Chain A
Amino acid sequence: MPLDPEEVAHVALLARLGLDGEERRRMGADLDRILDHVSALQRADISDVPETAQVGALVNVWREDVPAGSLSQEQALANAPDTDGEYFKVGAIQE
Chain B
Amino acid sequence: MTAPATVDTGYEVVIGLEVHAQLLTRSKMFCSCSAAYTTAPPNSNTCPVCLGLPGALPVINRQAVEMTVRTALALNCEIPPFTKFDRKNYFYPDLPKGYQISQYDLPLSQDGHLEFDVDGVRTRCGVTRVHLEEDTGTMHHAGDVLQEATSSLVDLNRCGVPLMEIVGEPDLRSADAAREYLVRLRQILVYIGVNDGNLEEGSLRCDANVSLRVRGATELGTKVEVKNMNSFRAVHHAITFEIERQARVLDDGGALVQETRGWVEARGATVSQRSKEMAHDYRYFPEPDLPPLQLGRDLVESIRAAIPELPEARAARFSSQYGLSAYDAAVLTGVRAEADTYEALVDAGVSAKVAANWQMGDVAALANEHHVALADSGLGVGGLAALLALVESGAINGSTAKELLSELYIVGGDPAALVTERGLGQVGDAAQLAAVVAEVIEANPKACADFRGGREAALQSLVGQVMKATRGRADARMVTTLLRERLSG
Where the two chains meet, the residues of A that have a C-beta atom closer than 8 Å to any C-beta of B are 10, 14, 16, 53-54, 56, 58-73, 76-77, 82, 84, 86-95
Contact = CB atoms under 8 A, between A and B. Distances in A.
Contacts of A59: 291-294
Given A59-B291, A76-B51, A87-B42, A95 B154 contact: no
Interface residues of B, number: 57
Interface stretch (B61-69, B174-182, B415-423): B61-69
B154 A90 contact: yes
A54 B292 CA distance: 7
Contacts of A73: 41-44
A38 to B, nearest CB: 14
B106 A63 contact: no
5 contacts: A63-B61, A70-B44, A70-B45, A76-B43, A76-B46
A91 to B, nearest CB: 6
Given A94-B146, A94-B147, A65 B25 contact: yes
Contact of A65 (B63, B82, B294): B63
Nearest to B84: A53
A63 B294 contact: no
B60 A14 contact: no
Interface stretch (B12-20, B27-35, B456-464): B27-35
Contacts of B105: 53
A88 B156 CA distance: 9
A82 B93 CA distance: 13
Contacts of A87: 42-43, 140, 153-155
A52 to B, nearest CB: 10
B128 interface: no
Nearest to A57: B291
B139 interface: yes
B44 A76 contact: yes
B152 A62 contact: no
A77 B44 CA distance: 10
B33 A67 contact: yes
Interface string B261-292: 01000000000010110000101001000111
Nearest to A75: B46
Nearest to A14: B281
B153 A88 contact: yes
Given A62-B60, A65-B63, A71-B46, A53 B41 contact: no
Interface in B1-60: 25-27, 32-35, 41-48, 51, 59-60
Given A60-B291, A67-B34, A93 B141 contact: yes
B84 A54 contact: yes
B480 interface: no
A12 to B, nearest CB: 12
Name, among A59, A60, A70, A92, the residue most crowded by chain B CB atoms within 10 Å (CB to CB).
A70
A65 B23 CA distance: 12
Contacts of A84: 153
A61 B62 CA distance: 9
Given A93-B139, A94-B147, A61 B27 contact: no
A20 B416 CA distance: 89
Contacts of A64: 62-63
B296 to A, nearest CB: 9
B217 interface: no
B59 A61 contact: yes
A66 to B, nearest CB: 6
In the complex, the 8 A-B pairs of residues with the closest C-beta atoms, listed nearest first: A65-B63, A87-B153, A58-B291, A68-B32, A88-B154, A62-B62, A62-B60, A67-B34
B271 to A, nearest CB: 11
A72 B40 CA distance: 11
A62 B141 contact: no
B89 A90 contact: no
B349 to A, nearest CB: 40
Contact of B61 (A62, A90, A91, A92): A62
B27 A89 contact: no
A43 to B, nearest CB: 22
Given A53-B82, A86-B42, A65 B152 contact: no
B440 to A, nearest CB: 67
Contacts of B42: 73, 86-87
A69 B34 CA distance: 8
B156 A76 contact: yes
B149 interface: yes
A33 to B, nearest CB: 20
Name, among A14, A66, A84, A88, the residue most crowded by chain B CB atoms within 10 Å (CB to CB).
A88
Contact of B93 (A62, A68, A90): A90
